[in-house]
Structure 1
């Protein structure tokens, strides 16, 4: 089974470190979304004061940062769920952690069972689950069952992380799951749907087996059953509308050079763009950059117009059509565009439906995905859709706005 830890180098010169802030109801892995400025051991945060000179920060338990942990969200309105966090993370009050000296995987397995769900509701029937509440849980360790529980935990965590990494907001995202060596996006979606169903069922079966083992350990066969409801399985099934929209988002990322069909993961997220696109330049650890955008070139000026017709050579719909053609081939282009348009739910010619999505809905979807912290910025002339354009914030230059005005408007 492949290694699933997120790799972060921990030293005092690194400015941004991962921080655990809880998150939605999710078991085993995931909810890894935030970073914190901890340069020089957090000197800026530790010395943050208001205008009157009063210290406004008081971080607690700093000695426990960057240790392997089990975590759950303080707010448990969606139910109690625990996750594994590797050694590279800090934490705050919203992402409560415990640091077992032994049996970590065993304890995490117990925390995600029906037994813990029932006991925590008795201990604290409110929506907040504090460290003291979880500390009261009776831990019964079965040496005989522990190897089986360890094995189940590894599979559960692997499935959960594979699901989390399938979407571009994951730090370990590699490429969109509909990018496959097939000739139609319909076939790619069918394969993705089977993959999601298998992962969902595999994780559900393992959670039920875990319930069965712990119910037996605690002697609660007459009180509890091992079955897990579908709504409590925290990996996602395929969703045609959502997945086509995320495919479009990935395509836009390839247009800007954030992603590439030649390399996995982030192809560019800052630095000198000219060096990234030269044979001798590029970021350490990436392909020698001249070959990064061979299959689908990134937009040269970092300005992609969105208009009610194809007025410009780099019109976003024209670029998207070229992207679909590159991924799945020319022969099936019309079929693929129709499939995408039908998934978007629009009426009319496929290109018109896709254009209307870019004009009306793409940017709101983008802001929602990135929690109102957009990677791409929208320039908009007003309500009548006269002219819109997207830029990638990482490629912004002092003359970008002037070029929008002179070269496009």
Structure 2
């Protein structure tokens, strides 16, 4: 039961005493659950004379594994070829943050042999711990939302072919598309608030709301068209980021926006994002207007939607704190877009992506550059041969990460604008101009790239930073899907020991003028000492010929290299 108070226009004249209301007990019964919402207008009450959503659609909660760490992974943790029906892992909806209309699935669930492991997950006494419920609804199209809310409801279309978790309750039924505009309307949010169920939005909380049947029938074609238009915008936005299952290529480097300079390319892309946001805002407000006007609720609701509720990642008012100044929001978006460019470039360096073919290329355990070349025989930007990319103070190796990044920029944007593009990247990363853009970029790779990667991939990184420690003497990125048991030995012999020899030679040269080079000499000595200590552990791990199994996930596999890799 909930108690709320607010003067209402259509009963105000019947209240001789301020804040005193008369309401029939029968009116409370009209709203399922009978909340004490005495302030609700007669127009709102009359909505509950319609059939309920549950009369036409069924609401179900999905599989409760009761041990998500054991049975769930992010899709990027496992081999691509093992994801799909009749395979080890199925893409699975586990709800997520506040986002309306469309949000792809991050997770995969162990459903090998029709979910045998989950269905037989028992305690020591043999009692079933999991809840493999409603499995007949797996892989069906539906409308889903987050069970645990934040005061705002957000409903999303989920296409055919996905599983769903108990945290992602879902509506199923015929013509499910047509109800999505109602669910994402301000009117629906208002009705949910009346029932007082904004923090725990169960299937019952939704199925007990009125289905505005007459309106749906009158506007069905418009609603289907409207839902399709908004979903297309939302899905395009979602798939623009590499943590989307349907990501194909980075928009910044796609032909529609690509120019010789990153700055001009970004401006074209930013204009497009603004148009997307504006179109979605217009559609959402039109959707609200239809419901409000059809039921004569203009005195109670407005169709306006704040920019912060246009749930597109490309919309900085939603992505960040909307209270920040416009200039700061634009700066945050530009910085993150440049970091996404850098991340995509690293993906191309290791062969996960290619500039020549959309989508994932090397995404299965133990794949090599030969597997890449079998798909793309003449790449415009070839991936690293040995899957070990040094991240060091200088270009000590030909596959140095900054050297490779500059090659990437030359291939994508052209060699003539390299200097201009490096300046723009450095300025976006720091927020100011610099006389040493390459140093800024090198510092970003060594200090911040892995931190950003861990955040982007939700603490399940796929590019692992092997590091000798705080002195930053030796760092190297390894793509986990291409790792094999000889990777560490190769890292030691071809990179670590080789770097130590080069630093020893540099020390000899610097000692010709020890006073002038005092700071550099001190730094190198500390780095070499750190590297020699680290080498003992690296050698031991290399001799152990450690193998990994991607099905175990990042947490289990990453722990095998403790002391060699940066902490997550």
- The normalised TM-score by structure 2 is 0.67
1:31-70 mapped onto 2 (5 Å cutoff): 31-70=104-143
User: Is 1:154 aligned to residue 231 of structure 2?
Assistant: no
Post-superposition Cα deviations, 1:182-238, rounded to whole Å, max 9, x if no partner, equal: 100001100110110010000010000000111122221221111110011101236
| SS of 2:478 mapped into structure 1 | strand
Asked if 1:364 corresponds to 2:451, the answer is yes
Q: Counterparts of 1:242 and 1:78 in 2: how far apart (Å)?
A: 28
Partner of 1:170: 244
Question: Is the helix fraction higher in 1 or 2?
Answer: 2
**Are 1:74 and 1:96, in contact at CA under 8 Å, matched by a contact in 2?**
yes
What is the distance in 1 between the residues matched to 2:235 and 2:384? 32
CA deviation vs aligned residue, 1:94-119 (integer Å, no higher than 9, x gap): 111111334x2221110101001111
Q: 1:315 to 1:78 in 2, by over 3 A?
A: farther
CA distance in 1, matches of 2:87, 2:149: 33
The residue aligned with 2:422 is: 337
Following TM superposition, by how much is the alpha carbon of 1:50 offset from its aligned partner in structure 2, in angstroms? 3.4
Are 1:156 and 1:206, in contact at CA under 8 Å, matched by a contact in 2?
Answer: yes
From 299, 318, 327, the counterpart of 2:403: 318
* 1:225 equivalent in structure 2: 302
Distance of 2:286 and 2:396 partners within structure 1: 59
Query: Which residue of structure 1 lines up, in the alignment, with residue 70 of structure 2?
Result: none
Partner of 2:359 in structure 1? 265
Aligned twin of 2:202: 130
CA-CA distance at 1:348 after TM superposition: 4.5
Deviations 1:60-99 (A, max 9, x none): 1111111111100012116100000012111122111111
How many Å separate the matches in 1 of 2:413 and 2:94? 40
Structural RMSD (CA):
1.8
Unaligned 5+ residue runs, structure 1?
Answer: 1-7, 280-287
After superposition, residues 283-322 of structure 1 pair within 5 angstroms as 288-291=375-378, 294-322=379-407
The 1:12/1:35 distance shift into structure 2, 3 A limit, reads closer
| Rounded Cα–Cα distance in structure 1 between residues aligned with 2:174 and 2:393 | 61
Over 3 Å counting, the alpha-carbon distance change for 1:78 and 1:223 in structure 2 is closer
The residue that corresponds to 1:355 in the other structure is: 442
Match of 2:334 among 240, 257, 262: 240
| Offset, 1:13 | 2.6
Quickly say closer, same or farther: Cα 1:322–1:12, change in 2 above 3 A.
Answer: closer
8 Å CA contact 2:91, 2:107 repeated in 1: yes
Which deviates the most, 71-80 or 320-329? Answer: 71-80
Q: Is the 8 A contact 2:119 2:132 kept in 1?
A: yes
Structure 2 CA distance for aligned equivalents of residues 250 and 11 of structure 1: 25
TM-score with structure 1 length normalisation?
Answer: 0.92
Residue 212 (structure 1) aligned to one of 275, 284, 289 = 289
Distance 1:278 1:161, change over 3 A: closer
Shift of 1:396: 0.4
Q: In the alignment, what sits opposite 2:152?
A: 79
SS in 2 for 1:147: helix
Q: Check conservation: 2:387, 2:482, Cα contact below 8 A.
A: yes
**Structure 1 stretch 45-54 or stretch 143-152: which is displaced more?**
45-54
Is residue 2:201 matched to residue 1:114? Answer: no
- Listed one character per residue, the Cα deviations across residues 323-373 of structure 1 (whole Å, up to 9, x for unaligned) are 111110011110000000000016440000000100110001000011111
Q: Which moved more, 1:228-237 or 1:269-278?
A: 269-278
* 1:380 partnered with 2:467: yes
**Unpaired runs of at least 5, structure 2:** 1-80, 317-332, 497-568
- Paired position in structure 2 for 1:3: none
Aligned equivalent of 2:484, options 389, 397, 406? 397
Give the aligned partner of residue 139 of structure 1. Answer: 211
For residues 164-203 of structure 1, the aligned pairs below 5 Å read 164-180=238-254, 181-203=258-280
Q: 2:84, 2:90 within 8 Å by CA — same for their partners in 1?
A: no
Task: Identify which range, 21-30 or 231-240, moves more after superposition.
Answer: 231-240
Assess, with a 3 A threshold, how the Cα gap between structure 1 residues 9 and 89 changes in structure 2: closer, same or farther: farther
Return the alpha-carbon distance in structure 2 between the equivalents of residues 28 and 264 of structure 1: 25
Match of 2:515 in 1: none
Identify which range, 123-132 or 41-50, moves more after superposition: 123-132
CA contact (8 A) 1:82 1:112 kept: yes
Report SS of the residue matched to 1:192: helix
User: Secondary structure of 1:255's partner?
Assistant: helix
Q: What is the rounded CA distance, in whole Å, between the counterparts of 1:45 and 1:23 in structure 2?
A: 22
Number of aligned pairs?
391
